[in-house]
Structure 1
Amino acid sequence: MTTQLEALITQISKIPDSEFAEYRGGWPDQIGTALVDAVFSIRAKYDAKNEALGVLGRTRTLIKAHPEVADDLQALVDLGAGEIESFMTSAVSSGRRKSACVVEAAQNLLDLTPQVRTASDITEGVEDLDARVRDVRRAYRRVHGLGGVTAEYFTMLLGIPGVKPDRMILEFVNRSLRTAGLKRVDTARARALVEEAFEAIGRGDSLTHFDHAIWRTKGELVPTD
């Protein structure tokens, strides 16, 4: 009988090699930019031909207008939710304005010991990076309206390899399983299967590139010729 991992690998093998080089690299030196991107990506259109209609375009516009917040969470807090909202819209998550979530998450990170103010504060001089990343994700998740999926996405944008098990990743995994007559899995198992598949076949420069290639399928399987 086909295993879950085998079923997933079969479908991933159909994704063109070019897709595994499409990851744009995130914001490894810009913690403020990464935080805005992560929060506003929740249930939103990320890319758009009209940059004013997509999260990525709006984020770039915000940072161009306020370059001081790109890698300074204190500057982001000082900028305030109202100014962030003027660039990023008044979108909400769990009934809360995303702009307010950004400011609260930034303050939570500033309140960590040692403090996280810039991207380098997460990695430089840290003896246990895994523990540090867990603390950062935990501080992010303490904000009502934010959760584990975008907490991981936030650190991925900062250059820490991971899997963002959102709707499109979960759907791709479960469609792969369904083609082999296997049952659906939850988010945690889907994430684990993607990690296992990367370890098994290693396409792309990193786990993040691998995740992004799957994400770009928008949950759809690649048709068989």
Structure 2
Amino acid sequence: MTVSGFREDLNALNAAIRKDFPTREDPGWPGGYPEEIESALIDAVFSIRARYGATPDIGVRRVVASWREARGVDRPDDLTFLATQASPSLGAVASNHSTTGGRSKVEVVEEAAGRLVEEGVKHAGELADPQLRLAAKWAYIGTKGLGPVTWSYFSMLLGQPDVKADVHVIRYVGRAARNDGSGDRFSSEYARDLLLASTHPFDDVTELDHAIWKLQRSL
């Protein structure tokens, strides 16, 4: 994609955003887990192609709530508890046998936690260091079953403004940028780049991301 092509796509996207979201209406972003890296990692992995859950006793939210209860703390923020087989065990707590990349999500969480710990990232606050954050990103996406889209979501859950360019967001950006209703499929990276560069009325791009997701889900 040329610079002029990106600019044209961005202008079309900005026009669509102005039309669809003329004012900052609260998109109802469900929040995340600031200073709670264990919950953020579990959520990021277990939400892949899964029902999220409107209440804490359903879907992904149930897994997170069960882990918090088993850990006995309100803000579980030490990845060594997920990286080892010590009690509590995520497998026993989660009671969830879903998979990603052909692997158990429990196994993926445990491996990702171990890889992050090896890079010196145990707590959420350590990701504020740019060098550690970069190392953490490569450790995370180097885990089979994970990739850059869920890394962005993991970051969002920890309070970092970002875009989870899933199928709903990609479809919106593609239709807006092409402006012909075709919804040509863009890569998740290109859709994310466009949204990060966009102009919008929200407090941050995370709110825009969620507003788009809600709009697309309602169509």
TM over 0.5, shorter chain: yes
Aligned to 1:54: 59
Please name the residue that 2:68 is paired with.
63
Q: How does 1:65-214 map to 2 (within 5 A)?
A: 65-68=70-73, 70-77=76-83, 78=86, 79-86=88-95, 89-112=96-119, 115-123=120-128, 126=129, 129=130, 131-180=131-180, 184-197=185-198, 200-201=199-200, 203-214=201-212
In structure 2, distance between residues paired with 1:56 and 1:160 = 20
Aligned to 1:23: 29
Distance 2:93 2:67 in 1: 7
Any idea what the Cα deviations from partners look like across 1:157-194, whole Å, max 9, x if unmatched?
Answer: 11222111111110111122343478542222111111
Report the AA paired with residue 24 of structure 1.
Answer: P
* Alignment-mate amino acid for residue 210 of structure 2: H
SS in 1 for 2:49: coil
Aligned twin of 2:3: none
1:61–1:84 CA distance, 2 compared to 1 (3 A): closer
| SS of 2:25 mapped into structure 1 | helix
Distance 1:55 1:218 in 2: 21
- SS of corresponding position for 1:171: helix
Length-normalised TM-score, structure 2:
0.83
The one-letter code sitting in structure 2 at the alignment partner of 1:187 is: S
Q: Secondary structure at the match of 1:18?
A: coil
Partners in 2 of 1:61 and 1:85 — Cα distance? 7
Matches of 1:219 and 1:175, distance apart in 2: 15
The answer to whether the aligner puts 1:12 opposite 2:17 as a matched pair is yes
Q: Is the 8 A contact 1:172 1:220 kept in 2?
A: no
After TM superposition, the score normalised by the length of structure 1 is 0.81
Provide the rounded CA distance (Å) in 1 between the counterparts of 2:176 and 2:35: 35
| Matched position secondary structure for 1:146 | coil
1:59 Cα deviation from its structure 2 partner: 1.4
Percent identity over paired residues:
35
- Identify unmatched segments of 5+ residues in structure 2: 1-6
